[in-house]
Amino acid sequence: MAENERAATMKFKPIFLFLIFTTNVSSAQEVLRPDVPVAIVGGMLLDGYEAEPIHHSVVVFENGRITAVGQKHNTVIPDNAVIIDAGGKTVMPGLIDAHMHIDLTGHGSYERYYEFMGGMERIDEFMTIAAKQMMRAGVTSGLDLGAPFQILEFRERIRRGEIPGPRLTVSGPWITRLDYDTVPDEYEIIIKSPREAAQRTRELIERGSDVIKVWVGLTKEDYVAVVNEAHKTGVKVHAHLYDPVAIRYAIDAGVDVFQHVGSARNPPYDDALLSEIAHKNIPVVQTIAHRIWVYPATVAFPERLYDPVYKKDMPADIYKEFISSFENFHRLSYMHGIGQETRNAEKSASQFIEAGAYMGVGTDAASPLNMHTEAMWREMSALVDSGMTPIQVISAATKTNAEILGQFDELGTIEPGKLADIIIVDGNPLRNIEVLDYVDIVIKDGGVWYAERAAYGPVTEIGHAF
């Protein structure tokens, strides 16, 4: 449903007024923006499309929006612009993580983590840490698929510029028939009938959820009930899917986005199912790197868990708990099936790519060992390993993800009129996608944030340190 159509539907329902504001992706962050135009000059520009790079590029933005894109010889730079020198670097759209959890830190055990959290009082502290880490990793927008209702106010605080963090699109608690013992009750809505599924979907939307997440254990009728109710107000339904029977239900019900499906740990799916998903152009967000790529990377280089940045990011007691959860990480229950999962991945990680599916990019960060600081480049690297080219993955993580979130009008590519969500990366990700680990500068909503190593020149005058 188009935005204006949706607004019209809601005109007579005052209860939905909140929703009209919360689904608007632009935001009031003037306070964080420089009060002059900014020109990023001399970098290799990847504009989000699967196109040739623009060399020696110029990108100008002002008041939170991109005003000009081109090359030095054909782009006018306003006289009063502050120049950011992007020589030796790549300029590209801010990354969008289409499946993440902002309440998580990468702690080794969900059970211990939620026990440590001890109710929901400290959840804002955890979310604040993750929000900053995502920004530092170049993630300027994220879809949170499963959090207590506290995330609604947290989303607004980021939007108002009170907390540095990515623009959030959120589901709130997920809908399921199974009570998942590991998570606190606030994370799940347990239903017993399709009628209840529809009713709880309506309540989530009225409270401010941007999308609906359905988890496991649902019947075919449940999927239909949720989808029909959500689509009345143009809200998309994202399904957590592994089981082929549930995938079939989700296809038939018209679920909008398939999450985790083909996340590599499962045995391969049959060709007919893959072909149908590809031909129906249902977006697939695989989340393949967590576990399958992250585990061997940690075995090879356990030092990654002890990056001093985590100590800097976290209050002492949270850091102590975080770091102690990595002892004997090979015994973590989250990794128990890793042998079989790794063997499955040899076929299943690449299945959707080979079938020609509509590929988004999501990380499931910060699942165990899968920290927000690294999750996106690891997922993008895993997708390159599985058959996509670097430019395809970059376009999927920016342009396609914006499409999946229904925000392409404002985000996902670098072109005049769009919101200024831009990252500057040290090096050439087309040669080696893993240079996305070196994000120097992050521009979100026109506000400039810089890493310590990029703290030079005018950037320090107009920007904010991470």
Report the interface residues with Zn ion, using CB under 5 A.
Answer: 364
Look at phi and psi of residue 307 and say left if phi exceeds 0, alpha if psi is from -120 to 50, else beta: beta
* Minimum CB distance to Zn ion, residue 363 (Å): 9
Round to whole Å and give the CA distance between 332 and 303: 17
Name the residue nearer to Zn ion (CB basis): 33 or 236. Answer: 236
Which single residue brings its beta carbon nearest to Zn ion?
364
Determine the straight-line distance between the first and last CA of the chain, rounded to whole angstroms: 38
* Minimum CB distance to Zn ion, residue 173 (Å): 13
Name the residue nearer to Zn ion (CB basis): 171 or 395. Answer: 171
CA 316 to each of CA 22, 307, 322: distance values in angstroms, whole numbers, following the listed order: 34, 15, 10
HSE-CB for 300 with a 13 A CA cutoff: 5
Round to whole Å and give the CA distance between 133 and 363: 14
Would you tell me how many other CB atoms lie within 10 Å of the CB of residue 261? 29
Name the residue nearer to Zn ion (CB basis): 58 or 284. Answer: 284
* Minimum CB distance to Zn ion, residue 145 (Å): 5
Over its C-alpha atoms, the chain yields an Rg (Å, rounded) of 21
The angle at the Cα of 372, spanning 370 to 378, to the nearest 5 degrees, equals 60
Name the residue nearer to Zn ion (CB basis): 40 or 289. Answer: 289
* Minimum CB distance to Zn ion, residue 136 (Å): 21
Name the residue nearer to Zn ion (CB basis): 313 or 364. Answer: 364
- Phi, psi angle pair for 188, to nearest 5°: -135, 150
* Minimum CB distance to Zn ion, residue 416 (Å): 35
* Minimum CB distance to Zn ion, residue 149 (Å): 17
List of residues 6+ apart from 455 with CB closer than 8 A? 465
* Per-residue exposure over 85-118, b if at least 16 CB sit within 10 Å of its own CB, e if not: bbeebbbbbbbbbbbbbbbbbbbbbbeebbebbe
* Minimum CB distance to Zn ion, residue 66 (Å): 31
Name the residue nearer to Zn ion (CB basis): 62 or 379. Answer: 379
Name the residue nearer to Zn ion (CB basis): 364 or 440. Answer: 364
Amino acid identity, residue 104? L
- Phi, psi angle pair for 73, to nearest 5°: -80, -15
* Minimum CB distance to Zn ion, residue 269 (Å): 20
Name the residue nearer to Zn ion (CB basis): 147 or 380. Answer: 147
